[in-house]
Each structure stands twice: as structure tokens, then as C-alpha cells.
Amino acid sequence: MTQLLSFIKKEFYHISRDPRTMLILFGIPIAQLLIFGTVIKSEINDIHIAIYDQSKDETTQQITNKLLSSGYFILDENLKSLDEIDAIFKRGKVREVIVFENDFGKKLIIEGTAEMQLIVDASDPNTARLATSYTKGIVNDYIQKLYPNVKMPMQIKPEVRMYYNEEMKSAYMFVPGTMALILMLISTMMTSIAITREKELGTMEILLVSPLKPVHIIVGKVIPYFLLSIVNAFVIIIIGKVVFGVPITGSFILLMLETILFILMALCLGILISTAAKNQMVAMFISMIGLLLPTIMISGFMFPIENMPEVLQWFSHIMPARWYITIIRGIMLKGIGITFIWKETLILLGMTLFFIALSVKKFKIRLE
Amino acid sequence: MITIKNISKSYDKTEAIKNISLEINRGELFGLIGPDGAGKTTLMRILMTLLLPDSGKAKMDEFDVVKDFKEIRHIVGYMPGRFSLYQDLSVEENLNFFATVFGTTVEENYDLIRDIYYQIEPFKKRRAGKLSGGMKQKLALSCALIHKPKILVLDEPTTGVDAVSRKEFWEMLKKLQKKDITILVSTPYMDEAILCDQVALMQNGRILDVDSPSRITEKFPRKIIQARSENMFQLINDLRNFEKAEAVYAFGQFVHFTGIEDDVETTELDNYLEKLNHKNILVEEINPGIEDVFMNLMEK
């Protein structure tokens, strides 16, 4: 026991005395979270539009005001003819043009139907799609309020309500994903590097020729990173809540327990990598390319798993982050309990045990 | 104390050591002498249970290096060829760490390391990476000794260390030997060989000879002539061109000459060199050193 304690103490010395390690442990997670949370967005802001209003009556004026006051749109120009539309798109700034037909207001009242046209620049299809659906939503909303008894004259589309993330805030989606990414990075990469560093510097040779058991070396290496990762997870949740307003609707304790399980899994994976990697470069390479990229791409962090080709969908099953992201999105955003996520939890637990068993088996008690 | 029987070991296709047998007695200071690539480190790693031999058996204090590796790891102290302590830990922290790992304390075995450690104690707060080469070796030795091992194995401990520190280091080994510690040390320096009780000369994974340093040189049958002149380069070339020359090697300021059948006299060589206009010529017969023996064995 004293052997283990002194090993852990030694490990903390290593971590605290290496500025790079400290930076990776605490600088990168926070920077990453802030960057992912603010830069990558699936909501729209300040879309530039132009309006060609042929009717210029009270109704069109009110709809225009409603659109502009929503905060999503900025009016760049009022057009005077249809011919200008092509030119204004070519200039590139304006993404959407709204055209109201002649006598829009009158027709709406008398005939119960009026036409407006949305023309969008679909060179960026994502923005285009979002812009049209936002516009439709706002127009429908206006008309419904104006004539609550009139049957929807502008049958556009059934209204979609976004559950759990009503405003479609992308930070809600990215905070859980980033958390998985960061914990994976820190826990896996740092432990694999810490163990291979001993090999590279030759200190492993002395540790092996000592009464220390492999389990002492492994546990001694893992515990400091385990504790630091828990601190990290805590910091990420706090930042998510304070900076991005991501709620924790479910049980905080369950969230932390699941997070601890995920950290354990990542640490064991790190040990496994270190048993295979000869030096720090290889360990880093495996952790970065082999784990980080798949975690970002196919764990459902950025792209919905359902939209992937079948092969990748199948492949995503072996990504631990996939299960963890499902779990914490459930807890944080939907507020569900263990009864809904026991399957994912079991899968993570199984992976952890598998990695532990494999790395204990693969840990070399000799130099070859 | 250490018994090695027919040990062989290959890496892929290169044979690192071939069929080596050795016997090292308790309390001996035993030297493995040989150039880089002779197989010294491989042999030591097998003894330290870090590598498995391909064939053969070895025992450390009656423990088998393959089966009883756990027991061996309690009774040996090991200093690898490369400085292998934690550079970012201080002198004191390193020593304490290794003491705890071996289940002891610095105080308990302070006697053993006092002579070595007191020299680096003034720097005990300094990080190990910032120590000089000689001090690093002293710290590494202290760490290898802290659990009072029965067998101490040192892999080229004096490589890259200055002459004064080297001398001190060997004096320390002599003292440790008196405390009933069997020491196996490897070195590429021939001048250190004479400080050992027994030496094994190694070359290309084989042992060329095992004996005490004095016996090794005594039983060397050849006559060695040492020569010197102002133009060393010319001297070596001329001696090599001498018709009765068998081996000519530069040894520091001198050239060591061995004649065919040992029937070259000093006067003969003197005359030959004078004819070739060498100045300040010195030619004398000397007792062979370990290097001469080694060079001769390597030729075969």
C-alpha cells in the first residue's frame, strides 16, 4: 500500500512539474469546449435578406417587421423588380429574398389566400433550409395570431416543435459531445503517454526490476489521471451551465457516476494502448488518429448516426463515446433516469472490463 | 552466487550472445569487458529477469532467472546503462521513491549509501536532470543500493563520466564489495578491468577468456614492444610495413608492436625506424596489458 501511495505521489510530481501536461489537462479542455460551443452552430443568426414587396400594404409591412425583429434576419435592400434578384444573389451577401405578390393584404382578407415567394441561395443548403423554415414559422405565426378563426390560408407545413432543445440551441448538443471528446482525449492519451514515457526514458527497466507488481504500476499511473479527469468533467459541466446555459434536467449524481464510468473506460483504453505502443509518439498517434477522429465523426457527436451509411452505423457501435453521449444527452437534456439508459451503461461497463482484462494480460513483466 | 550455463539469445536473426557460461562467486567484483555490441547488456538483462534467454539456464543466488523472477527482483540492485531515474524529481524524492518501492526507508540502509550519498546530499533539493554526469551516477548507485541488494549489477556505469569521478566510482565499488555485495559490472574501458577480481573478455556475443586480470596478462605468451616517435601517423604506417610485423595498434601516446613469432628485437626495430628518419625514437619491451590480450584475442 505504501508502495502504491508513493507511486501515486511520484505521478503527481510528474504532472505538476510539466507545464505541457498541465496545459493539456486544463487548458485544452476549456478552450475546446468554448470553441466547439460557440463556433459550430446549427442555428441561424443575422441572415441577410432582401424583400421585393409589390403590395406595400399594412399586412406585408407587419410581416416584414415581425421577421426583422426576430433577430434572425437583417434587411439589406428593398428590391424594385424581379430582375434584381439574380444580381443580388451573385453579390453573395444576401441569402434569402422574400417576394410578396400584388395586393397581398387584400387578397388575404377577401380570398383567404395570398402568395409570397421565398427564394434562397442554396449554395449553402444547410443555411438555406434553416432560413426558409424560420421564415415560414414566423409568417405562419403572424397570420394565425392575426386571424385566429380563419383557417390557415397559407398552408405551408405542419408546425414542427423541437422537443428538449426548443430553440434548437446547438450548444445543448455540443456540450455533451465535447465532454465525451475531452474525457476521451485526456484520460486515454494522457495515461498512454505517461506509461510509454517510462518506457522511453528507461525508468520502466528499473520499475520492472523491483518488487512492484504490474497492478501497482497500472493503478498508480491511473489514479492521478482518474482524479484529474473527474475534476475536468466537473469543470465542463459547470462551464456548460454557466456559459452556454445547458441545463441538467436529470440527476446530477447519476450524471457524475456515468461520467466516472466513462472515465474509467477511457483510462483502461489508455493502458491498453500503452502496452502496444513503444514510445510516446506512437501512443499519441494511436490516441489522436485512432480514437479522436472516430469519436468526432461517427459517435453521433457531430453527425446523426441514423444518416450514416450502414457500415459506419455498425462501426459506431464499438465507439464508447457513442453510448456515453446517448447517456448524458438523456440525463442532461431529457432528465431520464437509469431505467432508460441501463443498456448503454452495461455496454460501457462491459467495455471497461474488457479493456482491463486485455491490458493486464498484455502488460509485459519483461522488456520484450 | 551467479551461475550462467550455455545461455544464448537472438534478436530476430542477429545472435546477441552465443552459448555463454560463467560462474561468479559470492563477494566478487566481476567485470564484463568488451566493446559496444559485444552482448554485455543482453547478458545483464537476462540476469536481471528483463529478457528471456532462448536457451540455457542462469541462476542468481539459487533463483532461476525465468521461473523465480519475482524472488530475484527482491535481491538485486540494477543500474542500467542509460541514466534511468526520474529527471523531474529531486535527488531526495528519487531516493525516497526507490526506497519505498523496495519496501524500505532511506534511514534503514543509510549506512550502506552514506559514503556515496554524502557527496550529493548538499544538492538533495535539486532535480536529478540538473545534476552533472558524475553526480547522476552517484545518485543512480545510491538508488540501486537503497534496499541493500545481495547482487549489484551495473551496466557501463562509468561511460560518459569524467576521469576523477570514474576513479571515485571504482573506489566505491571496492568498498561495497567489502559489505558482502556481489558486483557484476560491465565496461568498455580496459583500464578499469584491472580493478576487478575476475574479468570476462567478451566479443561478438562470445566469451573469449575468463580469469583474474593479472593472470590474463601473465599467461599472455606474446612479446609486446612499445614504440614512440615524433610523427605518430608515419610511425604506425612504417611499423605496419615492417616485414616481420604481425599486429600494430595505437595505444594513447604509444604504438604497441607484436612481431611474427615474437623474434623481433627492440634494437632491430630501432634501426629500422632510424633509417626511415624518425626522430626522438623510443622502443622498449613491456609487459602486456589487458588491451593487448584483448586485441590479440579479437584477431583470432
What residues pair up with B60 in beta bridges, in sequence order? Answer: B2, B63
Output the pLDDT for position B45.
Answer: 92
> Among A1-15, A162-176, A238-252, B205-219, where is mean pLDDT lowest?
A162-176
> SS3 string of chain B?
CEEEEEEEEEECCEEEEEEEEEEECCCCEEEEECCCCCCHHHHHHHHCCCCCCCEEEEEECCEECCCCHHHHHHHEEEECCCCCCCCCCEHHHHHHHHHHHCCCCCCCCHHHHHHHHHHHHHHCCCEHHHCCHHHHHHHHHHHHHCCCCCEEEECCCCCCCCHHHHHHHHHHHHHHHHCCCEEEEEECCHHHHCCCCEEEEEECCEEEEEECHHHHHHCCCCCEEEEECCCHHHHHHHHHHCCCEEEEEEECCEEEEEEHHHCCCHHHHHHHHHHCCCCCCEEEEECCCHHHHHHHHHHC
CB proximity list for A242: less than 8 A, separation 6 or greater: none
Average pLDDT in the B68-85 region? 89
List CB contacts (< 8 A) between A2 and chain B. Answer: 100, 103
pLDDT tier at A296, thresholds 50, 70, 90: confident
Determine, for residues B51 and A368 on separate chains, whether the beta-carbon distance falls below 8 Å.
yes
Rounded to the nearest 10°, the torsion over CA A4, A7, A13, A18 is -120
- Whether A157 shows a pLDDT value over 80: the answer reads no
Output the pLDDT for position A42.
Answer: 57
Determine, for residues B103 and A3 on separate chains, whether the beta-carbon distance falls below 8 Å.
yes
DSSP class of residue A356? H
Domains and CATH numbers, chain B: 2-218 (3.40.50.300), 224-299 (3.30.70)
Q: What is the C-alpha to C-alpha distance for residues A218 and A230, in angstroms, rounded to an integer?
A: 18
Distances (CA, A) of A307 to A40, A207, B191: 19, 49, 74
A99 and A240, same domain (yes or no): no
A304 and A196, same domain (yes or no): yes
Output the pLDDT for position B30.
Answer: 94
Look at residues A94, A111, A146 and tell me which one is the last residue of a structural domain. A146
Does residue A1 fall inside a structural domain? Answer: no
b (16+ CB within 10 A) / e for B228-266:
bbeeeeebbebbeebeebebbbeeeebbbbbbeeeebeb
Average pLDDT in the A193-206 region? 89
A93 and A118, same domain (yes or no): yes
Look at residues A146, A181, A204 and tell me which one is the last residue of a structural domain. A146
Distances (CA, A) of A320 to A301, B51, B109, B233: 12, 36, 49, 70
Determine, for residues B86 and A209 on separate chains, whether the beta-carbon distance falls below 8 Å.
no
Output the pLDDT for position A1.
Answer: 80
Does residue A2 fall inside a structural domain? Answer: no
Residue A215, chain B, CB below 8 Å: the answer is no
pLDDT tier at A163, thresholds 50, 70, 90: very low
Q: Please state, for a pLDDT cut of 70, what percent of chain A lies above it.
A: 90
Does residue A244 fall inside a structural domain? Answer: yes
Residue A265 in grid coordinates: 473506460
A30 and A56, same domain (yes or no): no
A336 and A301, same domain (yes or no): yes
Determine, for residues A206 and B78 on separate chains, whether the beta-carbon distance falls below 8 Å.
yes
Q: What is the C-alpha to C-alpha distance for residues A123 and A120, in angstroms, rounded to an integer?
A: 9
Say how many residues make up chain B: 300
Output the pLDDT for position A155.
Answer: 44
Determine, for residues A203 and B86 on separate chains, whether the beta-carbon distance falls below 8 Å.
yes
- Whether A183 shows a pLDDT value over 80: the answer reads yes
Q: Is the ipTM of this complex over 0.85?
A: no
Q: What is the C-alpha to C-alpha distance for residues A336 and A163, in angstroms, rounded to an integer?
A: 14
- Whether A79 shows a pLDDT value over 50: the answer reads yes
Average pLDDT in the B103-108 region? 88
Mean pLDDT of chain A: 82
Output the pLDDT for position A152.
Answer: 53
Rama region for B133: left / alpha / beta (φ>0; ψ in -120 to 50; rest): alpha
Smallest Cβ–Cβ distance between A209 and the set B73, B86, B100 belongs to B73
Determine, for residues A202 and B82 on separate chains, whether the beta-carbon distance falls below 8 Å.
yes
Smallest Cβ–Cβ distance between B102 and the set A14, A211, A367 belongs to A211
Domain span holding position A132: 47-146
In terms of pLDDT, which residue wins out, A165 or B233?
Answer: B233
pLDDT tier at A160, thresholds 50, 70, 90: very low
How many domains is chain A partitioned into structurally? 2
Could you read off the pLDDT of B109-127 as tens digits, one per residue? 888 888 888 888 899 899 9
Q: What is the C-alpha to C-alpha distance for residues B85 and B141, in angstroms, rounded to an integer?
A: 11
Average pLDDT in the B162-178 region? 88
Average pLDDT in the A322-340 region? 85
Output the pLDDT for position B112.
Answer: 85
Output the pLDDT for position A345.
Answer: 93
Could you read off the pLDDT of B224-267 as tens digits, one per residue? 888 888 888 888 888 888 888 888 888 888 888 888 877 788 88
| Of the candidates B188, B187, B184, B207, the residue with the CA atom closest to the CA atom of residue B197 | B184
Residue A317, chain B, CB below 8 Å: the answer is no
Residue A209, chain B, CB below 8 Å: the answer is yes
Mean pLDDT of chain B: 88
Burial class (CB in 10 A: 0-12, 13-18, 19+), A222: buried
A88 and A175, same domain (yes or no): no
Decide the pairing of beta strands B151-154 and B182-187.
Answer: parallel
What type of residue sits at position B295? M
> Among A159-168, A263-272, B62-71, where is mean pLDDT lowest?
A159-168
Q: How far is A205 from chain B (nearest CA, A)?
A: 8
What type of residue sits at position A45? N
Does residue A243 fall inside a structural domain? Answer: yes
pLDDT tier at A248, thresholds 50, 70, 90: confident
Residue A207, chain B, CB below 8 Å: the answer is yes
Q: What is the CATH number of the domain that holds A74?
A: 3.40.1710.10
What residues pair up with B201 in beta bridges, in sequence order? Answer: B33, B209
Residue A1, chain B, CB below 8 Å: the answer is no
A294 and A234, same domain (yes or no): yes
- Whether A166 shows a pLDDT value over 50: the answer reads no
Determine, for residues A17 and B82 on separate chains, whether the beta-carbon distance falls below 8 Å.
no
Average pLDDT in the A324-336 region? 85
> Among A56-70, A162-176, B135-149, B182-196, where is mean pLDDT lowest?
A162-176
Output the pLDDT for position B21.
Answer: 92
- Whether B183 shows a pLDDT value over 70: the answer reads yes
Q: What is the C-alpha to C-alpha distance for residues B92 and B126, in angstroms, rounded to an integer?
A: 8
Could you read off the pLDDT of A84-119 as tens digits, one per residue? 888 888 887 888 888 888 888 888 777 777 788 888
- Whether A154 shows a pLDDT value over 70: the answer reads no
Q: How far is A299 from chain B (nearest CA, A)?
A: 38
User: Cell 466547439 belongs to which residue?
Assistant: A36
Does residue A164 fall inside a structural domain? Answer: no
The shares of helix, strand and coil residues in chain A, as percent rounded to the nearest 5, are 65, 5, 25
pLDDT tier at B155, thresholds 50, 70, 90: very high
A208 and A306, same domain (yes or no): yes
Residue A366, chain B, CB below 8 Å: the answer is yes
Does residue A160 fall inside a structural domain? Answer: no
Output the pLDDT for position A43.
Answer: 63
pLDDT tier at A149, thresholds 50, 70, 90: low
Residue of A209, A215, A216, A368 best to disrupt the B interface, most CBs of B under 10 A: A209
Does residue A216 fall inside a structural domain? Answer: yes
Average pLDDT in the A226-247 region? 86
Decide the pairing of beta strands B254-259 and B245-251.
Answer: antiparallel
Q: Chain B residue closest to A203 (CA)?
A: B84
Output the pLDDT for position A158.
Answer: 41
Distances (CA, A) of B157 to A196, B37, B145, B168: 25, 16, 14, 12
Smallest Cβ–Cβ distance between A208 and the set B50, B52, B96 belongs to B50
Q: Are the CB atoms for B120 and B135 separated by under 8 Å? A: yes
Does residue A94 fall inside a structural domain? Answer: yes
User: Cell 405562419 belongs to which residue?
Assistant: A140
A350 and A226, same domain (yes or no): yes
Q: Please state, for a pLDDT cut of 90, what percent of chain B lies above it.
A: 31
Could you read off the pLDDT of B43-56 as tens digits, one per residue? 999 999 999 999 99
- Whether A190 shows a pLDDT value over 70: the answer reads yes
A34 and A63, same domain (yes or no): no
Output the pLDDT for position B278.
Answer: 84
| Of the candidates B112, B89, B11, B107, the residue with the CA atom closest to the CA atom of residue B52 | B11
List CB contacts (< 8 A) between A209 and chain B. Answer: 48-50, 73, 76, 78
Burial class (CB in 10 A: 0-12, 13-18, 19+), B10: middle
A89 and A183, same domain (yes or no): no
A86 and A229, same domain (yes or no): no
Q: Are the CB atoms for B5 and B57 separated by under 8 Å? A: yes
Q: Please state, for a pLDDT cut of 70, what percent of chain B lies above it.
A: 100
